[in-house]
A and B are shown apart, each in its own frame.
Chain A
Amino acid sequence: NAGVTQTPKFRILKIGQSMTLQCAQDMNHNYMYWYRQDPGMGLKLIYYSVGAGITDKGEVPNGYNVSRSTTEDFPLRLELAAPSQTSVYFCASIDMNTEAFFGQGTRLTVV
């Protein structure tokens, strides 16, 4: 039982490039979340999904897109990367009313 797996762990992007951050969970949870964490700023919700085929915006969705074609996977897409997207990204999954399980994070630098 791997829990929540995020790939890659580290990535450097040039301004204007695109990439997809992968998130997979093997706990059959319906709810999945993407957060970004900036120093001293806490976790900010980017997008979330309550089940396959359903996604919704969080607090800071601009510059990102998501899809949820299966229960297991919830990829986060960055189009036209900007320096403001330099951050640590965390994916989490939850079976409602229980704890949230977080991945180990993806550290992204946009230069």
Chain B
Amino acid sequence: EDQVTQSPEALRLQEGESSSLNCSYTVSGLRGLFWYRQDPGKGPEFLFTLYSAGEEKEKERLKATLTKKESFLHITAPKPEDSATYLCAVQARTGNQFYFGTGTSLTVIP
């Protein structure tokens, strides 16, 4: 069964304190792994897509990496405006469904 597990559930960081969010997945052949940011009361907003192990993508203070079993979202020197819930989703090669994790709620304290 295809599954996505995110950890930790919640993370509090001081401004400037770097850390990583984890997304572990089990899927029968990965087509793509997706990271989204969700602000309260809004729909998820796309951040990255990763397709194969070893791939990395960066955007401002965020960097996403992918292995055969998990993905990390590294946050370097976070700012309060990075506070949000970060969602991970995977899509299998067979089928058209996207499976989402439950998210990591990040709070960055000034």
Contacts and interface: CB of A to CB of B under 8 A. Distances in A.
Given A31-B96, A42-B87, A45-B97, A99 B102 contact: no
Interface string B20-61: 000000000001101010000111111001000000000000
A51 B49 CA distance: 23
Size class of the contact patch on chain A: 20 to 34
Interface string A63-97: 00000000000000000000000000010100011
Contact of A100 (B9, B34, B99, B102): B34
B103 interface: yes
Interface on chain B toward A: helix, strand, loop, or mixed SS? Answer: strand
Contact of B42 (A41, A50, A58, A104): A104
A58 B43 contact: no
Given A41-B102, A42-B103, A97-B32, A102 B45 contact: yes
